[in-house]
Structure 1
């Protein structure tokens, strides 16, 4: 199958697309606060007759419950007090593509509109669209590339659940980072993932075994910011679907086991200026980013604490950033340094960029890019200057004043009390997001863990 994705903008082109690919079903959906792709499967005829142009209605409970579909109380946007009215999923036909591993099926990502036609500003894709538009107004096109780590486990999700998620068996055993020989044994699945996603229009430039047993990293191709978020979201869904066909479960949880490496979602990013040049490139001094790049970096570093709740969105996220774990845990930066929050990669040419190393693989890609881009643009607009670069081990050298919030509860407080974050993300989003994260904290606090039982049952 060709890697060129169809360009569909008219009814006739859509009809031709359906006929050419023998499409029977459309998977349509939008991304919720947790980064889950929620939606419907639509018969091709109904999609052509109505949904493609008018959208399809769905309950706004999508922004009123958690990832386990439990309604969250006391949300301002929706709840029992509003009787959960409809919102509309409006297909973005630029994202339309056949699904290679589901013959006769196509997928399309939707934007979310209120019933009066306006975009739902709480929606992560709408937030990212708005910040990308701000970049455009400032004369820049943001470019991003994701590196995502994932664990593959033997057994389907139902099988793992039936066993209480105990005694997990990884797809491969032991630590074999970058092992070409070990990769050969897993290539039948990892290779299929690369090939199927390439046919899907999502380009994995490289993959390798990672530090944990059954852990792999995939490096996605650099592209426009919105496309990068769309691609990362679809990649996570797609890897889960393809792994399931092999009787396996793929998980992007930040910390699967205390003994195993955490899974990161590192974000490489830069800006292209109005002349089409990489704005971070520095031909005069290729050992440093350009002044624009340094100001952007300064904004990301300066507001890292305020945005931690978006980079580390679950209770589990903070177990990945504990100690020397290859994850950014302080508001620091350095040149090609993998112990800091923001890694600067200077160049005289197009390779000039920064890498945000805080976010885990569990984070919502739209929100990670929105937070990084928004804070970077803030740095440019305010002419910020970064602090001195960190040399050596930031886990040992970074002082307590640079420490990022180390719990979801603390991160919620930092976001909620940040006037700058509120200006960048808007009050309605911040208040809603913080409420959903505090619900996660509440659910965790009320749960009795196996650790508590084993530690206290006999002795107290």
Structure 2
């Protein structure tokens, strides 16, 4: 039975922790890179102080990169401001066990300033505001995440000693849907399904994927915010369980140039406020409803300017460089077509939905869901026309048939910064900060001498 209970009060939280003999709670929030950061507390202090008052944490969470190197040129926080505190306020509806850690639970937090106003850079707050906009229009957004990832033998420390040049995949070859290749990972995936279920989430399927040591898991549909929370929790579950099994889970978009990239596909639909699905088409079950098509049109037409959200890292663009690499690279849509960026999946009932196939596994689920939702709602607001579905191989589409997405992080940051609509949807402060973070990544990359450069130039130049 699931061991979370949609808790909403301190009394319920106390009963939950006592029932499961919990003595440690991980309290955290997601940063712009999708990393879960926070603190651990004893159960008594958590109940007596943190639940009601929150906990202070330095706003340097938005002032450094994935390696905790301070980013220069940020307005929100910097050396001159002294990196003051913000607060993490637990959302008790996310309180759940970490079943693979005895007597440990976790909770995801809202981020607020010391005056209790929301932190405008918080990805969870951005998604919450997008959901509120949908609700004000009479819609409940639903979403589900799929993650592909690689399993490598050994620990991160082992890999770092070899400068990551000797990655050993958990299996030597990739065969999608192969039932044989669970032999090297059965313990991990059996644990994953059981523990995720115990934590109150559902993994609908695990799949052997195309690359050596590459796998996929599919999470069950949920309300948009809960879907992002679940994606965050499940991703960290995979990482921690892999470590416990003597392996390392990698969610990079492209860990090896010769291997298949790892996607983070996101499925989305709308219901009315009574829960009735709105993307199904009673008159034509092989097509989305008019509302669904307008929503899809908004997602498609604005996908290019959202490249910085859907492909947020330097490495993200290695996944989309090769034609036919199972990675969307243009603004296309089709009906149950896996070569397009937006795959319409018609159905007679609530399964009617749109799959955004652009994001990689390296994305921030909160920002991907928020961007998809806001773009889709813009399509609904303006009555946008999706046009005719693409038929055939969309990887071969010409720019006239389907507008290319950004081809690099540099181009993506430029598009994001210069779009009035992006600034309307996300706000000036978020856009300026986010773009600065992306340009910082480019600066760091350009300061490094790579193996490719040494191999190409060292002898002959």
- For Structure 1 versus Structure 2, the TM-score category normalised by the shorter chain is over 0.9
TM-score (norm 2): 0.98
The residue aligned with 2:445 is 444
Shift of 1:83: 0.8
**Contact 1:131–1:370, Cα closer than 8 Å, also in 2:** yes
**Contact 2:151–2:250, Cα closer than 8 Å, also in 1:** yes
Which is worse superposed, 398-407 or 412-421?
Answer: 398-407
Which is worse superposed, 125-134 or 277-286?
Answer: 277-286
**Contact 2:3–2:97, Cα closer than 8 Å, also in 1:** no
SS of 2:185's partner is: helix
Which is worse superposed, 11-20 or 436-445?
Answer: 11-20
Determine the C-alpha separation between the residues in 1 that align with 2:24 and 2:427.
37
Q: Would you say 1:405 and 2:406 are equivalent positions?
A: yes
Determine the C-alpha separation between the residues in 1 that align with 2:155 and 2:290.
50
Gaps of 5+ in 1: none
Determine the C-alpha separation between the residues in 2 that align with 1:45 and 1:124.
29
Determine the C-alpha separation between the residues in 2 that align with 1:52 and 1:46.
9
Determine the C-alpha separation between the residues in 1 that align with 2:273 and 2:245.
46
Gaps of 5+ in 2: none
Shift of 1:8: 2.7
The residue aligned with 1:363 is 363
Determine the C-alpha separation between the residues in 1 that align with 2:415 and 2:36.
28
The residue aligned with 1:256 is 255
**Contact 2:9–2:92, Cα closer than 8 Å, also in 1:** no
Determine the C-alpha separation between the residues in 2 that align with 1:364 and 1:413.
19
The residue aligned with 1:390 is 390
Shift of 1:383: 0.5
**Contact 1:87–1:113, Cα closer than 8 Å, also in 2:** yes
The residue aligned with 1:237 is 236
SS of 1:135's partner is: helix
SS of 1:439's partner is: helix
Distance 1:412 1:37, change over 3 A: same
List per-residue Cα deviations over 1:40-74 (Å, max 9, x = no partner). Answer: 01111111110011000000000000010000001
SS of 1:22's partner is: coil
Determine the C-alpha separation between the residues in 2 that align with 1:415 and 1:261.
27
Shift of 1:97: 0.9
Q: Would you say 1:186 and 2:185 are equivalent positions?
A: yes
SS of 1:42's partner is: strand
Shift of 1:278: 1.0
Determine the C-alpha separation between the residues in 1 that align with 2:83 and 2:196.
36
| Correspondence 1:301-320 to 2 at 5 A | 301-320=300-319
Which is worse superposed, 185-194 or 361-370?
Answer: 185-194
Determine the C-alpha separation between the residues in 1 that align with 2:5 and 2:421.
40
Determine the C-alpha separation between the residues in 2 that align with 1:126 and 1:429.
11
Determine the C-alpha separation between the residues in 1 that align with 2:244 and 2:237.
11
TM-score (norm 1): 0.98
Q: Would you say 1:43 and 2:42 are equivalent positions?
A: yes
Shift of 1:15: 2.2
Determine the C-alpha separation between the residues in 2 that align with 1:21 and 1:273.
37
Shift of 1:348: 2.2
Shift of 1:196: 1.2
Shift of 1:6: 2.3
Q: Would you say 1:64 and 2:91 are equivalent positions?
A: no
The residue aligned with 1:9 is 8
**Contact 1:332–1:398, Cα closer than 8 Å, also in 2:** no
Which is worse superposed, 223-232 or 2-11?
Answer: 2-11
SS of 2:265's partner is: strand
The residue aligned with 1:430 is 431
The residue aligned with 1:459 is 460
Determine the C-alpha separation between the residues in 2 that align with 1:298 and 1:398.
19
Determine the C-alpha separation between the residues in 1 that align with 2:357 and 2:32.
21
The residue aligned with 2:296 is 297
**Contact 1:283–1:347, Cα closer than 8 Å, also in 2:** no
Shift of 1:257: 0.6
Determine the C-alpha separation between the residues in 1 that align with 2:374 and 2:147.
21
Shift of 1:197: 1.2
Cα RMSD after superposing both structures: 1.1
List per-residue Cα deviations over 1:67-111 (Å, max 9, x = no partner). Answer: 100000010100011111000010000000111011111100011
Shift of 1:4: 4.7
List per-residue Cα deviations over 1:360-382 (Å, max 9, x = no partner). Answer: 00000000000000000010011
Count of paired positions: 459
**Contact 2:170–2:184, Cα closer than 8 Å, also in 1:** no
